[in-house]
Structures are given as C-alpha cells and as structure tokens.
Amino acid sequence: MQKSVHFRVDPKLAHVLGENYTSSEKALKELIDNAWDAEATEIHVTVPNILTDSPIIVQDNGSGMKTAEVESEYLNIASPRFSRKGDRTPNLNRTVKGRKGIGKFAGLILACEMELITQAAGKRTRVLISKLVLMEALGDLEKVPLPLDVADSDAPDAKGTTITLRNLNPKLSHIQPDKLKELLALDYGREPSFVIFVNGERVFHHDIQGEKFQTEITLPNGLIAKVSYTIAKNPLPTRIVGLILRVGGKSIGNPHLFGLENDEALSDRLRRRIVGEINLPADSLELTAAGGDVIESDKGFEMLMQIIPAELKRNLEATHKREFDLAKGRLTQAMNRRLENVPEHRRAIAEERITRLMQRSFQEGEKLERIEALVALVLDALEIDEYWTVCQHVHEAEKVDVFHFATALEEFGLCDLAFMGTQAKRRLEFLDGLDRLANDPKTSEAQMHKALATNLWVFGPEYSLMASNRQLRTIIEDYIGSDATDRPDLFLAGNVLKQHLLIEFKKPTLTVGRDAENQAKKYADTLTGKLGMSLEILIIGGEVDAKLVDEYTGKKTNFASYRAVISTAKTQLERMLKELASNLN
C-alpha cells in the first residue's frame, strides 16, 4: 500500500528549527538515543569510508513503530516521547532521552535524504523524507507530501527500525568512527543491555581517546585476569571512571579505582582519566549469593587490590610526565624569548616559578591554552612587578639609615594600596559577570556553585578564608550519595579555626521558603554530628521569603538572594576604592 502522509506541526516549531549540533558525530548520536528510547538491545551503525558515496545506516532491534504511530507520533514535530508515554520506557525502565521530539531532524543535518523503515505488529512501514523538499516548504510543513509504503513484514514478530541517510552533506566533515565510538562509550559503554557496533566493532566503555594499556595478572588459583584500560586525554564523567570487573563476561559491581581515590598525591582530575576493565574467567572470584559483587576477602581480589593500584599509578604518572614534558617543550621557546626581558638576577627564579605553575596546572588537568595564558600572566607580572623593585629598596635601605628605610616602607605601602585597588576593580568586574549569570533564567544551581566556590569573599570577609577540601567533599558524598539524581547542590567549606560553612545553591529563579528552612535543619543535624562541631548554613536562591527565621536551636542559618549578596559585595568594594583613592591622594 502506498500513500502520502504529512508532518503535524507543533507550536514549538521555531525551537525545532533553531536546534543545532556542534559536530556530525553528535548529530548521529541523536539517532542512537532514539533507539535507546525504543528499548533496542542491539544497534549497528555503518559509517561510510571518506572516499565513497555510501550512506550512513543506523539499524536497531527495538520495538519499532506501527504505521499509525509513524503518522501520529513520529511525524509530529516537537512532540517528545516522554510527554506522551512518561519519562521511563515500559519494559526495560530506561530513562527516556528524547526530550524535545526533534531528534529525527538530526539525520537531515547530515544528509539530503532520510529513509525510515520500521517494523511492528507484522507490518513494515517505510517513509522517505527529503531535506530539499522540506526547505522549499519551510513555512508550511504540514502540506509537504511524504511517500509512505506499508507492506507485510517478512516475519510476523519482526521488530526494529533502520534509518538510512543518503547524499551526505558535503559541507560537513565525514563521520570519524573512533570519535563516534568515544562519544557513544561515554553514555552507553557500561550499559550491558544496549550493545552498539560501529562498522562491525563493538563499542566498549574504554573506547575513549587516549593511551591504551594491557597487562595480565595470574591469580592464586592459576587463572588469568586480563586488564585493559585507557588513560584518557581529558577527565571523564565520574560515573564511568575506574575499572569494571567482568567475570565470565558479566559485569560485577561498580567501577573500581582500587584505592587510588584515597591517594592524596593524585589530583581528582588526574584520577578521572582512568577507564577500563578486568576480564576474568567464570568462577575465578568468589561472588556474593546474588552474584552482583565480589567478596572482598577473596584471595584473587586481594591480589588485584595489591597490584592494580601500583600499575595504574605508574602509568598515570608516566603519561602525565610525557604530556608535561611535551607541552613544556612547546612553551619553552616562547618562554625563553620573554625571559630575555627579565633582569638576569631574576631569571632563575622566574623559570623555577613558571615550571612549578606548569606542573601544578597539568596535575589539575588544565588545558594547554589556559596554561599558556597563565605563563604569560606570570611573565607580565615579573616584567613590570613594582613589588620586586620596592622590596629591593627596603632590603638595601635597612643597611643605610632610618630615613631611607622609612621612605622605602612608604613606597611599599603605596604599592600595596595600588595592588588592593587593582584587585578591587577586578572583583567588581567579576561581580558584574556574576550578576548577569544570576539574572539569566537558564542558569542552574550547579553553574552558580561553580562560579562562587572559589570566590567566597562575595559572601563577606568572614567567609573569605574558608575553602573546601577532599575530606569535606567526602562527607557530602557519604551523606547524600555522589550519584543521586535528586541530590541538592551543596558546598561544604572550613577554615583553620575549625569553623564550617555549608552552602546550598538554589536556582536563581527560585524563592527560598519554608521547605529550604526544613531541609537546612536536616543538614545541620546530620552534618553537625559528622563534623563534631558547629556548622553555619547559608541557603542562597533568587529571592528569600521574608518570614524565614535566622536561628533555631543554637544552629545559625542564613538565607540570602543572589541579588542581595552581589549588591552588598559591590557596595563594600566601591567603599574600599574610595578610601584607597583618598589615601593615595
């Protein structure tokens, strides 16, 4: 049976047409996400060679669509699956990824023609969508005829969908299979019920770009553990970091870092570059009754716990050193040219400070471009740093007389005032940017957290000396769970006086009310017990309910709006600048 069908246009069409993807691989991934939502367990992606005109093919064994579903749902633009059928799939209870109902258009970014063949309920339905025809009728998509064929399936129980993209967009670079595999590995590499093949090669969670390592460990029972892992080029999402155990092909428990998570010599960003797996034969380890985890006292597992950390750390540090040496070599030539402008007696100190800066920056996983900017900043300061000259004067004047010594100290004081003024102006610029961020309705609590975590001076001088550390972050994770989907955005900081501050960040569009106060009491009661000392809580959001109290049961809780905090900080800085100006005059 042949007929023509049409798009049904939702009012959100303008949003649809404004959708974009930053790479060809991300656009193609949208079609894989659709297969996930369709509860496929296996998907095959065929990416053509750069020298051929072959199409891109995405084939899955998911639930497929009946002809009526194709017409009423698939061709309904901007009608997201989760709004029609809920945010979980019916059988496998997967979280639905299709949130906008426009993933179908990702194929038309890559190609001029998209063919959909889907099977369900004994029928095979085929729809052909032409990008050229759609663009010519952009203002009236509902009238565009789309050829639709319906026929009996080869088998009554046949299910699944195949999407074929032909006449690929010549303005875009060809899909890179390795890059696509890496992108898919981040989301699906550890999903045992969703197997993906790209050009016949299965996607694994360690299909991440980076340096690959393999080793074998002979267990006490004589069986072999095969270890394969990657040290990625950049830090990875926490949920995929570590080595997964596979016993007899089955994934056991959660990914392990085998104790490296407690190694203070490694930064968090460096640890988050490790991803891989340990493959063991069946019955090689003693598992729990349900087979979901390893019994930690198993001798083979104890051996892995002894050998794996040293293996990982050795290669992690060696990789880091090679990267550092390579980047340092690229920066050395430019650095040497700049150091020619630094006085000779200061050159050795400059080189030592810059090397230390580079080492720390690489340890923290900073990008090369940012490190180059930091090095340039240090060199700028060394070339024009008035403090260096003034300190030299102070040192020399001490040996002369009181008058010259006093004059040198005055110079130092004036220089210090000038520095304070520069810092105040830069902080005002930061507050202007923070104000724009807080007034953007799209801003999340996590973004405000990131902006303020290292700038606690914004909340007042009493908070400026506080900072977070790994132990405090562990307390937060132990309390609410690092992987909880509904976890609040919390920041716990302390200072040398053993005072602690807990900040809960709310969206700038939310009003802090009684619910926030009740939650604050829960945090205070639990965390005070863990810390064994007083805890001050700050709940910050868009607005604050005027009825909120300031104290309860001896535990101090403050509520603030981003607007009020930024305004107060600006007022203090502007007052400081006026005082500095009067002192300098």
Q: What is the pLDDT of residue 56?
A: 95
Edge-to-edge strand order for the sheet containing 250-256?
210-218, 224-232, 274-280, 242-247, 250-256
Angstrom CA distances, 519 to 44, 77, 221, 490, stand at 47, 41, 52, 12
Instruction: Give the structural domain span for 507.
Output: 437-571
Shared-domain flag, residues 185 and 250: no
Shared-domain flag, residues 86 and 187: yes
Reported in sequence order, the residue ranges of 224-273 that DSSP labels E, i.e. its strands, are: 224-232, 242-247, 250-256
**The pair of three-digit structure tokens given for residue 132, joined into one six-digit string:** 């050229």
Say if residue 185's pLDDT is above 60. Answer: yes
Shared-domain flag, residues 170 and 261: no
Is residue 379 one of the residues assigned to a domain? Answer: no
Is 234 in contact with 365 (CB distance < 8 Å)?
Answer: yes
CATH of the domain at 160: 3.30.565.10
**Last residue within a domain, chosen from 319, 343, 359:** 319
**Last residue within a domain, chosen from 319, 351, 368:** 319
Shared-domain flag, residues 184 and 50: yes
Shared-domain flag, residues 187 and 241: no
Residue 97: pLDDT band with limits 50, 70, 90: confident
What integer best gives the mean pLDDT of the chain? Answer: 75
Read off the pLDDT of residues 312-357 as tens digits, 9 standing for 90 and up: 999 988 888 887 777 667 666 666 776 676 666 666 766 776 777 6
Read off the pLDDT of residues 389-416 as tens digits, 9 standing for 90 and up: 544 554 555 455 555 545 554 544 454 5
Q: What is the pLDDT of residue 48?
A: 92
- Strand, helix or coil for residue 25: helix
Q: What is the pLDDT of residue 418?
A: 56
Q: What is the pLDDT of residue 505?
A: 84
Is 241 in contact with 256 (CB distance < 8 Å)?
Answer: no
Angstrom CA distances, 259 to 22, 53, 269, 287, stand at 37, 50, 16, 20
Closest CA to 261 of 303, 293, 305: 305
Shared-domain flag, residues 46 and 175: yes
Is 226 in contact with 278 (CB distance < 8 Å)?
Answer: yes
- Dihedral sign for Cα 260, 262, 266, 269, please: positive
Shared-domain flag, residues 176 and 276: no
Read off the pLDDT of residues 433-453 as tens digits, 9 standing for 90 and up: 888 888 888 888 888 888 887
**In this structure, what are the phi and psi dihedrals at residue 502, rounded to the nearest 5 degrees?**
-110, 120
Q: What is the pLDDT of residue 311?
A: 92
CATH of the domain at 263: 3.30.230.10
Q: What is the pLDDT of residue 61?
A: 95
* Residues facing residue 250 across a β-bridge: 247
Q: Say how many domains are in the chain.
A: 3
60: left (phi over 0), alpha (psi -120 to 50) or beta: beta
Q: What is the pLDDT of residue 16?
A: 40
Q: Rounded CA gap, 100 and 209, in Å?
A: 30
Shared-domain flag, residues 27 and 87: yes
Is residue 108 one of the residues assigned to a domain? Answer: yes
Is residue 578 one of the residues assigned to a domain? Answer: no
Is residue 38 one of the residues assigned to a domain? Answer: yes
Is 205 in contact with 244 (CB distance < 8 Å)?
Answer: yes
Shared-domain flag, residues 163 and 266: no
Is residue 336 one of the residues assigned to a domain? Answer: no
**Last residue within a domain, chosen from 319, 348, 365:** 319
Say if residue 279's pLDDT is above 50. Answer: yes
Q: What is the pLDDT of residue 118?
A: 95
Shared-domain flag, residues 38 and 178: yes
Is residue 143 one of the residues assigned to a domain? Answer: yes
Q: What is the pLDDT of residue 532?
A: 61
Is residue 179 one of the residues assigned to a domain? Answer: yes
Residue 360: pLDDT band with limits 50, 70, 90: low
More confident of the two residues 550 and 134: 134
More confident of the two residues 87 and 55: 55
Is residue 389 one of the residues assigned to a domain? Answer: no
